[in-house]
Structure 1
Amino acid sequence: MNRARGMWKALEPYHAISYFSPETRKATDALGLKGGWMSYFGCRAAPLGAVGPGLVAAMFYNFHPAMVARSLPDAWTYATPEQLLDARLTAVDNAVRRLFPDAPPYQTVWSGEPVKRAAELARRAAELAPVAGRPIAAANAALEWPDEPHLALWHATTILRESRGDGHVAALVAAELSPCQALVTISAAGGPAKEVFQLNRRWSDEEWAAASDDLRSRGLLDAEGALTDAGRALRQQVEDTTDALADQGWRALGDERTRELLDVVRPISAVLMSAGLIPADNPMAMRWD
């Protein structure tokens, strides 16, 4: 596994606390937001300001625009972006304290030297991660850094994953894969099943079929819906481009500090994955081994 992909895999579970922990939903329910998806879109889009659904659908890329429009701009009538930024950080704080009880060996998550060092390294990596042409990463990078190490670590992982994600969108656009086609091809490549993507991204059977038909016309899918050689090559091109763009920051950080960060954060993420924080059938294609 290359460096950029390995670091994404190691850091993503810690970032994903804000998506999958019940503390986030509790915090946004208290503000009046309606449902998990309004919570998700409101919290993730909050660094951008009170933006509309069209802009969010374009930047988040693979969600059905109608799905986004069911949450935005309504979310801003219940809470301001600033309130949601506070809510998501408070939720992460509460979730970490629940998931890592104040007893050996997990008390170090917020008070020990290893996580302080992880926060320092991750912050430096986030400051080196490219943000030009990466609007979600840039919006998060412009936010004030939290003081507590476990929250600074989460903020850094958020900038890093959004920088990678923005680069991934650029790779998909260059490959001329529409949002729905991106999901069709990753599913055909052995990623999450169609049903997982439809549940979490809301493309209809008709839209999925139309995207598949277009991919067949381009010689990227066969009659059974499997990737052709050309389809596998294009999908690999997308992943390689994503990794290459994301590696810019890790290259700047250097091998020694990148490896040090990996060694510290992997055990933390292993605890989160073993605790079942992230479902096995998740739309991020996140697997742990």
Structure 2
Amino acid sequence: MDVRQLWLRFEPYHDVTYFTPESRAATDALGCQGGWMGYFGMRAAPLGAASPELVTAVFYNFAPRKVARALPDAWAVATPAAFLEARLRGVDGALRRLLGEVDTPEIAELASLARDAALAAPIAGRPLAAANRALPWPEEPHLALWHACTILRESRGDGHVAALVAHGVGPCQALALYAREHSLDPAYMRAARGWSEEEWEAADVPGDLAAVERATDEAARAPWEGLGAARTSRFVDLMTPLALRIASGNEAMRVNPMALDPVRELAVPGWNT
């Protein structure tokens, strides 16, 4: 079971949370000053009115000053509960636009599969996964599927942070290594996460990123082992066309700090070898 191929299928569905016109409109309506305040407010809201120090720690690869430009000011703009409502409105609008029809038997089946996988995802030592799992499940299947994908995504992300820490790879160093490995523009990566050129150059030192990725994948197996091979295969069959449709229609997937290219990568055979 190639858990990275599974990640490629649920990550695009989750990513509509932040980087779509509907998401931006929802946080602008709250009074946010810029897209990044909306991003930090929506993603951190499951933690409550978290401090910038806490958010910097759990998000890991953002420069502290970038987080501090958005938090705690975001909590003066709107409560965490209001940010949670806004992100759900944005997700609903984005999915309806990108998918067209969301009231389908396939999405209802996917929501059930993904929920069972998400409930099998580890949350011990994984604060973002635990905080999202504690939220109420949306009733509509396309939103329940999004909620499950969000738990799966944050569980994997929390595990990735643990792997980085265990292998001694710092926040800026991880970005520099990843940018070099995936031929990403260093200037773009620095701007996306708020690091200075001097900080980047100081952090651009060797590190075993391949070992980190292996540890991340290994720590992300539990949801799919819990779901079982047959139901995981069914999840892949149903989720692949949705991921491709979203990735093709979401401009944020063109360039992103994760070097995520589902349109290209989902064509790679052998996901279950």
Q: Is the aligned partner of 1:282 residue 2:256?
A: yes
Aligned residues: 263
Per-residue CA shift, 1:167-190, capped at 9, x if unaligned?
Answer: 000000011111000001111212
Match of 2:164 in 1: 172
Match of 1:23 in 2: 22
AA in 2 matched with 1:241 = A
**Aligned-residue offset at 1:20:** 1.3
Match of 1:211 in 2: 203
Between the aligned partners of 1:150 and 1:249, the Cα distance in structure 2 is: 20
Identity %: 52
Between the aligned partners of 2:197 and 2:119, the Cα distance in structure 1 is: 42
Between the aligned partners of 1:93 and 1:71, the Cα distance in structure 2 is: 24
- Alignment check: 8 A CA contact 2:56 2:67 kept: yes
**Aligned-residue offset at 1:3:** 2.3
Match of 2:190 in 1: 198
The SS at the match of 2:137 is: coil
AA in 2 matched with 1:93 = D
The SS at the match of 2:18 is: helix
Match of 1:93 in 2: 92
Between the aligned partners of 1:254 and 1:285, the Cα distance in structure 2 is: 29
Match of 1:75 in 2: 74
Q: Is the aligned partner of 1:34 residue 2:33?
A: yes
The SS at the match of 2:49 is: coil
**Which structure 2 residue ranges, 5 or more long, are not aligned?**
265-273
- Alignment check: 8 A CA contact 1:184 1:211 kept: yes
The 3 A distance-change label for structure 1 pair 191 and 141 is farther
**Aligned-residue offset at 1:191:** 5.0
Between the aligned partners of 1:20 and 1:3, the Cα distance in structure 2 is: 27
The SS at the match of 2:221 is: helix
The SS at the match of 2:17 is: helix
Structural RMSD (CA): 1.1
Q: Is the aligned partner of 1:237 residue 2:229?
A: no
**Aligned-residue offset at 1:280:** 2.3
175-184 vs 269-278, which moves further:
269-278
**Alignment of structure 1 residues 180-195 onto 2, 5 Å:** 180-190=172-182, 192-195=184-187
Q: Is the aligned partner of 1:127 residue 2:126?
A: no
Q: TM-score, normalised by structure 2?
A: 0.94
- Alignment check: 8 A CA contact 1:196 1:282 kept: no
Q: TM-score, normalised by structure 1?
A: 0.89
The SS at the match of 2:110 is: helix
